Amino acid sequence: MRQFELIAPCHFGLEAVLKREILDLGYEISKVEDGKVSFWGDEEAVAYANMFLRTAERILLKVGEFKACTYDELFEGTKALPWEEYIPENGKFWVKKASSIKSKLFSPSDIQSIMKKAMVERMKQKYHRERFEEDGVSYPVRVSLMKDIVTVGIDTTGVSLHKRGYRKLQSKAPISETLAAALIMLTPWKKDRILVDPFCGSGTFPIEAAMMACNIAPGMNRSFLAEDWINLIPRKHWYNALEEAQDLVHMEESLDLQGYDIDPEVVKNARENATAAGVDHLIHFQQREVAKLRHPKKYGFIITNPPYGERLEEKEMLPGLYRQIGEVYEKLDAWSMYLITSYQDAERYIGRKADKNRKIYNGMIRTYYYQFLGPKPPKRREGETR
């Protein structure tokens, strides 16, 4: 099978989590950069990466890389790429997105239009045509310029991978599915441990945890753009990936996953999202304010995305809210707490310094993942349940 270099963008600060996922799938890493991980894979890898990676935003098929400091160099570099090896004669192709960091070429619209012209010129030469109908399958191109190095890829995913297909309804400030999955993976939580999100919003943390516990592949209930690229990827690879994903599902009935929110409408929406994901019977959602969070068992986890105070009217309530979080956590026996927030006084009002602190970008907002580590539970004897 043909080998490709594939590029998987992710949230800044979570490259190590994605790298581990790719290695677990059995693929070789070629490069790790800020906000993306590149790896080698065959035709099958395109389907499997889209189906199984929980923390990637999309999968790009790398066409090439070159240096360009002028628009002439951008045109010639783009024209030199073997577009005919990827895009058929009737394919629809355009530069969907261009980004530029620390490069001499910085206008996205100019980059897009010049690269499109160069692609057309290349295709004219190779297909011996003056005009292209572009009435076939879509091959959207994404390009990034970093310090004048142009990296060009074709998007195999389409709608971003964070769209699992279950979140029809969302709260005011939802956390994305890919980010929630990555944050859970950064904790030692396992399916036999309690997980509570007292600000559950759309229910994303407990839903993603349930999907992990039951081995439900994140791409099982959606489609991907490259499914129609029969010139590059035989359909059998998509069928095989879905069949394997279905075979791997194992519903865990004994999970202790809980989501609370003070807004009853938000709780209703979270339940509906969990139903769409097929895990509603595994999660207990309830209207409850954070101050009333209690649990009799030890060694549980709080993993949550509390209000940041991005809106002015919220800022006044934050000190009291984070003080409540600290007081509730203090009363829980041997629990760990992980929370992501941009609120810089979080530790101050929680009342203790986090054991670990990781900087992560949630969209354009710089946030911190505060990690308060509880003790590890004692090892269980064979046959024991916790």
Q: What is the CATH number of the domain that holds 288?
A: 3.40.50.150
pLDDT of 251-266, one tens digit each?
Answer: 987 899 999 999 999 9
Please check whether residue 386 lies inside any domain of the structure. Answer: no
- The answer to whether residue 339 is domain-embedded is yes
Band (237; pLDDT cuts 50, 70, 90):
very high
204 lies in a domain? yes
Amino acid identity of residue 83, one-letter, is W
Q: Are both 113 and 211 inside the same structural domain?
A: no
Whether the per-residue pLDDT at 383 is higher than 60: the answer is no
Mean pLDDT score of the chain, rounded to an integer? 94
Residue 382 lies in a domain: no
76 with 149, same domain: the answer is yes
Can you give the pLDDT at residue 12?
93
Q: What is the pLDDT of residue 385?
A: 53
Give residue 364's pLDDT: 81
Q: Is 183 inside any structural domain?
A: yes
CATH code of the domain covering residue 132 = 3.30.2130.30
Q: What is the pLDDT of residue 172?
A: 61
Over residues 105-114, the mean pLDDT reads 97
Q: Within 13 Å, how many C-alpha atoms sit on residue 180's CB side? A: 28
How high is the pLDDT of residue 186? 97
**Would you say 164 and 278 are in contact if contact means Cβ atoms under 8 Å apart?**
no
Judge whether 239 lies within some domain. Answer: no
Is 196 found in the same domain as 106? no
pLDDT value at residue 252: 80
In this structure, the answer to whether residues 88 and 181 fall within a common structural domain is no
The DSSP line for 172-233 is: SSPPPHHHHHHHHHTS---TTS-EEETT-TTTHHHHHHHHHHTT--TTTTS--GGGG-TTTS
Residues 258 and 121 in one domain: no
How far is 280 from 265, CA to CA, in rounded Å? 16
pLDDT reading at 174 higher than 80: no
What's the pLDDT score for residue 311? 63
Among 176, 187, 110, 118, smallest CA distance to 145 is for 110
Residues 14 and 113 reside in one and the same domain:
yes
Answer yes or no: is pLDDT of 126 > 70: yes
Residue 232 inside a domain? The answer is: no
Report pLDDT for 328. 97
In tens, the pLDDT along 190-200 reads: 999 999 999 99
**Same structural domain for residues 142 and 209?**
no
Tell whether 39 is covered by a domain: yes
Predicted confidence (pLDDT) at residue 386 exceeds the cutoff of 90? no
DSSP state string for 284-351 = EEEE--GGG---SSSS-EEEE------SHHHHTTHHHHHHHHHHHHHHSTT-EEEEEE--TTHHHHHT
Residues 141 and 205 in one domain: no
Instruction: State pLDDT tens for residues 27-43.
Output: 999 999 999 999 999 99
Q: Are residues 193 and 115 in the same domain?
A: no
Choose the final residue of a domain: 102, 124, 155.
Answer: 155
What pLDDT shows up at residue 310?
A: 64
54 & 191 share domain: no
- What number is the average pLDDT over the span 67-74? 98
Among 121-125, 130-134, 260-264, 360-364, name the one with the lowest average pLDDT. Answer: 360-364
- In which band, very low, low, confident or very high, does the pLDDT at 51 lie, cut at 50, 70 and 90? very high
Residue 40 token pair:
């080698």
Q: Is residue 220's pLDDT more than 90?
A: yes
How much of the chain, in percent, has pLDDT values that exceed 70? 96
CA distance 201 to 260: 8
Write the pLDDT tens digit of every residue in 302-358.
999 999 876 656 788 999 999 999 999 999 999 999 999 999 999 999 999 999 999
Q: How far apart are CA 378 and CA 149, in angstroms?
A: 52
Residues of the domain holding 86: 3-155
- How far apart (Å, rounded) are the C-alpha atoms in residues 351 and 332? 15
pLDDT at 315: 80
Looking at the structure of the chain, the number of domains it has is 2
**What is the pTM assigned to this prediction?**
0.94
Does residue 80 sit in the same domain as residue 129? yes
200 with 71, same domain: the answer is: no
pLDDT band at 381 (very low <50, low <70, confident <90, very high): low
**What was the pLDDT predicted at 384?**
57
